[in-house]
Amino acid sequence: MPRSPMIVRTVPALRRAVDGLRAKKATIALVPTMGALHDGHVSLVRLAKRRAKRVIVPTQFAPTEDFGSYPRTWKADIAKLAAEDVDLIWNPDVKTMYPDGFATRILTEGPATAGLEDRFRPHFFGGVATVVGKLFTQVRPDFAIFGEKDFQQLRVVTRMAGDLDLAVKVIGSKTIRERDGLAMSSRNVYLLPEQRRVAPELYRAMKESAQALRAGEDFKTAMAGGAALVTGAGFALDYFEVRHAETLAPIASLKDGPMRILVAARLGTTRLIDNIAV
């Protein structure tokens, strides 16, 4: 039976717990999530356990525009984290993270203004960088694990940690998919049965475009083909793009470096994002 993780709700209690782990020379990995945990999150925790002696999971880390409407599954989340032998759950309330008068934010540029998610959620990466910056200084982890599923976020956080000389190694973890290719996401529960049926088309379209790019097809044609598959399946498309995998800058040739295809599209009111390497 794994032990129940320690649940910590105040900054002083977190400091004491982290100091205790550090005194024992334990390495620490941080796995930020928003709760409503699925197998994708569990895979991050497992990677964290392979990298570090102790694993800390902050829950509901980003009070984004989603925060109010996110599915709340606290009990089930704790049980999953206990089953993975997580050591500590950092569960501050909103006032602890954002005390009255909170007035400081991290300003993000570079990958955060690449013209992908930022076009549709203009304040999102500033919020992510600020809260993740806080988590990094609160916990001072050796490693932080983020999913490739949110690829732009992974790039923003990696850049922020490097730029601010935070002594944490940010590690990307591969996307966990359902059997039919749909990337796992807390939002998938909102898909109606018919929408759930067509949702894997997103992954299929990216794979088609990736194959066309690798086969040497003209970039515009290859990407237009994938985008047409997405809209043809009934999605409202936000973007379907190929970018440089590190900088997220636009890319026009196979010679320009490692590539990533990124997509965001809506089925009804549910917005899905995904990406793959080319």
Q: Which residues are catalytic?
A: 41
Of 146 and 219, nearer to ligand AMP (C-beta) is 146
Question: How far is Cα 222 from Cα 211, in angstroms, rounded to an integer?
Answer: 9
- Is 183 a binding residue for ligand AMP by CB under 6 A? The answer is yes
Instruction: Pick the piece of the chain touching ligand AMP (CB under 6 A) from 34-42, 83-91, 122-130, 246-254.
Output: 34-42
The angle that helices 39-51 and 74-83 make with each other, rounded to 10 degrees, is 40
- Which H or E run includes 220? helix 219-232
> Do 126 and 156 meet the contact criterion of CB atoms below 8 Å apart?
no
Give the x/- contact pattern for ligand AMP in 186-205, rule: CB under 6 A: x-------------------
- Is 150 a binding residue for ligand AMP by CB under 6 A? The answer is yes
- Is 116 a binding residue for ligand AMP by CB under 6 A? The answer is no
Q: Name every residue whose Cβ is closer than 8 Å to that of residue 132 and which is 6 or more positions away in sequence.
A: 32, 61, 62, 144, 157, 160
Question: How far is Cα 213 from Cα 40, in angstroms, rounded to an integer?
Answer: 28
Instruction: Pick the piece of the chain touching ligand AMP (CB under 6 A) from 41-49, 114-122, 203-211, 242-250.
Output: 41-49
Instruction: Pick the piece of the chain touching ligand AMP (CB under 6 A) from 12-20, 184-192, 205-213, 217-225.
Output: 184-192
- Which H or E run includes 167? none
Among 17, 21, 28, 34, binds ligand AMP (CB under 6 A): 34
First-to-last CA distance in the chain? Answer: 42
Question: How far is Cα 45 from Cα 56, in angstroms, rounded to an integer?
Answer: 9
- Is 147 a binding residue for ligand AMP by CB under 6 A? The answer is yes
- Which H or E run includes 88? strand 88-90
- Is 117 a binding residue for ligand AMP by CB under 6 A? The answer is no
Among 5, 17, 40, 267, binds ligand AMP (CB under 6 A): 40
Among 43, 91, 195, 209, binds ligand AMP (CB under 6 A): 43
- Is 44 a binding residue for ligand AMP by CB under 6 A? The answer is yes
Q: Is 33 exposed, middle or buried (0-12, 13-18, 19+ CB in 10 A)?
A: buried
Structure token digits, residue 4: 């129940």
- Is 152 a binding residue for ligand AMP by CB under 6 A? The answer is no
- Is 176 a binding residue for ligand AMP by CB under 6 A? The answer is yes
Q: How far is the CB of 40 from ligand AMP (least distance, A)?
A: 2
Among 80, 134, 149, 271, binds ligand AMP (CB under 6 A): 149
Question: How far is Cα 22 from Cα 26, in angstroms, rounded to an integer?
Answer: 5
- Is 59 a binding residue for ligand AMP by CB under 6 A? The answer is no
Question: How far is Cα 262 from Cα 119, in angstroms, rounded to an integer?
Answer: 13
> Which stretches of the chain bind ligand AMP, using CB under 6 A?
33-34, 40-41, 43-44, 146-147, 149-150, 173, 175-176, 183-186
